[in-house]
Amino acid sequence: MDVQRRDGFKVWTPLFFSLVLVLGMIIGFNLRDTIRFKRDINTAITRNDRLEEIIDLVNDRYVDTVNGNQLYKDAVDGILKNLDPHTVYIPAEELQGLNEDLDGEFSGIGIGFSIIRDTIEVTSVIENSPAEGAGIEVGDQLVKVNDSLVAGNSITSDRIVHLLKGKNHSPVDVFVKKSTNDIVKKISLSRGIIPIYSVEASLMVDDITGYIKINRFSATTYDECSAALKKLKAKGAKQFILDLRDNPGGYIDAATSIADEFLDSTKLIVYTKGTHSARKDYKASDKGLFENGKLAVLVNESSASASEILAGAIQDWDRGIVIGRRTFGKGLVQEQYDLPDGAAIRLTIAKYYTPSGRCIQRSFANGKEAYQEDYEKRFEADALTVEDSSAADTSVFYTANHRIVYSGGGIKPDVYVPYDTSFLSVALLKMVYSEELKTAIWDYFIRNKQKLSYKSITDYSQSFNAQEQVAGSYLAMLSPDVKKNVLKELSKPTNGDFFNTQIKAQLARFLFRDNGYYSISIKKDEVVNKALDVMKSDRYSKLIGGK
């Protein structure tokens, strides 16, 4: 995908976007996978064609015309529906995107874009990509791809992505209107391999604290994370915050390799076992990059599977503290079996267990629908705004220092941080993520592109103070009635502060990529600030010290 992708246009997906999207956070829950391997289905089974024969019979003899592909999908769904919630059939048209996320790369030209006033605006250019080599810049507009016009109110992001992606080294012509003039220039490119970064940000929060945010565990995550650790240590990091919030999982090997960098040699990280899968232990091996020093792992209700493996290992060995809210509760391991037609089945083949022996899988005894609705019920019961004392399983386990932990229902953090309810206002979030504000920020960037030549993120953070100017442009786009309501919301000091911070952070992303955004936004992040407070106090040692 020709965006730095995570859930659509990451350019406009800020840190707190999930606060009120309760239903959105549970859509796709069954693809929160801990993947062990991908393999061809023919390597695992003896072929039995009874299902194919039945579908062929219906196709050939049924009284009415039927859709053979839909029959096949319905049949497979029927076979899997009474299994666990994470065993799923993935149609061919969906599989490529999911595999690209896990593989950590795709073939394209290397731009991020957003649709503003029905125009494709280039919002980022990936380093060393074909687009960068051809001179495409942030602020340029995409007019045509090959013979397809890509402007107007009918254009969609999916359509643009489809046009820009293709086989590696395949040719593509893009017609670009440069940001410096109105001349449309034809640029002929050869598509290349474009990385999909899973380490979304790595930066110094203060003089001694490094911050690393991982958005999934792909084939490239370990290399990205170890490079970030080395870079931040060279900058003076003596303690780390590892942010796994909203990380849905991925490859188990990526999670265990990263855990290995924080744990002593030979320590158990996780083990898996199932009825048809022998126990497999994953242990720390070589000397890690950060086996000593304070460590905080940030989690929430959307931290799942491989994220829970990493957080569970850190917690069970009392290697660091887990801060945030109870995790998703997914303790099952899948293998992906690719089918001849390009589809795949992700089949649960084992459960995983943290070093203390606990399996944190939530119960699905009441069916998939009840399992899927668990998050919404937790929210309605205020479990996300007051400390969540519920436990799906009361089986007691112990950490290395004999602290009590529980199985079932996810990883319960050592330090609970509820949602900051001051940011739960639907009206406020509608402003922050509105098309009008997005347009106002973009317009300011384009108009002042030459002036925004800051030497560093620190320079920008200290010097930029034009939030009110951007806000003024935003307000000018609104109708009188809407403007009146917006001003009422922004008159509240907390709302106004959050609004201005988001303007500054979103603009910083154009200048310094994701590190720019997070450098600004985490200053108002309650969970990050709680982690810093705990690590600065004697509470840290008391929490992991046990009895």
Q: Give the pLDDT confidence of 270-319 residue by residue, as tens digits.
A: 999 999 999 999 999 988 999 999 999 999 999 999 999 999 999 999 99
* Cα 377 from chain centroid (whole Å): 23
Band of pLDDT at residue 18, cut at 50, 70 and 90? very low
The first and second tokens of residue 27, run together, are 């859509």
pLDDT band at 42 (very low <50, low <70, confident <90, very high): low
Q: What is the pLDDT of residues 409-451, one digit of tens each?
A: 899 999 999 877 666 577 888 899 899 999 999 999 999 988 9
Task: Return the minimum-mean-pLDDT range out of 78-82, 96-100, 418-422.
Answer: 418-422
Mind spelling out the 3-state secondary structure of 36-99? Answer: EEEEEHHHCCCCCCHHHHHHHHHHHHCCCCCCHHHHHHHHHHHHHCCCCCCCEEECHHHHHHHH
Catalytic, out of 316, 374, 388, 414: 316
Domain annotation for the chain: domains and CATH numbers: 10-17+105-195 (2.30.42.10), 199-419 (3.90.226.10), 423-529 (no CATH)
| 305 tagged catalytic | yes
Mean pLDDT, residues 9-14: 37
Q: Which of 165, 267, 330, 438 is catalytic?
A: 330
Any bridge partners for residue 348, and if so which?
A: 334
Look at residue 24 and tell me whether its pLDDT is greater than 60: no
Residue 238 among the catalytic residues: no
Q: What mean pLDDT comes out for the span 469-483?
A: 95
CA atoms within 13 A on the CB side of 20: 12
Of residues 128 and 341, which shows the higher confidence score? 128
**What is the pLDDT at residue 136?**
94
Q: What gap in Å lies between CA 435 and CA 474, rounded to an integer?
A: 10
- Residue 101 contacts residue 218 (beta carbons within 8 Å): yes
- What was the pLDDT predicted at 48? 67
Tell me how far apart the alpha carbons of residues 452 and 288 are, in angstroms, rounded to a whole number: 40
Query: Is residue 118's pLDDT more than 70?
Result: yes
pLDDT at 268 over 90: yes
**What is the mean pLDDT of the segment spanning 479-503?**
92
The secondary structure of residue 133, as a DSSP letter, is: H
Average confidence (pLDDT) over 514-541: 96
Helix (H, G, I), strand (E, B) or coil at 243: strand
pLDDT confidence band for 329 (50 / 70 / 90): very high
Q: Over range 145-168, report the average pLDDT.
A: 89
- Quick one: which H or E segment has residue 229? helix 221-234
Tell me the per-residue pLDDT of 241-263, one tens digit each, with 9 for 90 and over: 999 999 999 999 999 999 999 99
Place of tokens 């395949």: 170
pLDDT at 362 over 70: yes
Encode pLDDT of 167-220 as tens digits: 999 999 999 998 778 889 999 999 999 999 999 999 999 999 999 999 999 999
pLDDT attached to residue 239: 98
Mean pLDDT value of segment 367-391: 73
pTM for the structure as a whole? 0.89
Q: What is the DSSP string of 143-193?
A: EEETTEE--STT--HHHHHHHH--STT-EEEEEEE-TTSS-EEEEEEE-EE
Band of the pLDDT at 515, cuts 50, 70, 90?
A: very high
Is residue 391 pLDDT above 70, yes or no?
Answer: no
Q: What pLDDT does residue 27 have?
A: 36
- Answer for the pair 196, 104: CB distance below 8 angstroms, yes or no: yes
Q: Is the pLDDT of residue 137 over 50?
A: yes
Catalytic residue among 305, 425, 519, 521: 305
307 is catalytic: no
Beta-strand relationship, 209-214 and 239-243: parallel
Neighbour tally for 414: CB within 10 Å: 23
Q: What is the DSSP letter of 235?
A: T
Residue 389 has pLDDT above 70, yes or no: no
* Separation in Å, CA 175 to CA 108, 170, 273, 449: 15, 17, 54, 22
Residues 326/349, Cβ–Cβ less than 8 Å: no
Nearest to 166 by CA among 80, 266, 96: 96
* No. of helices (H) and no. of strands (E), the chain: 19, 23
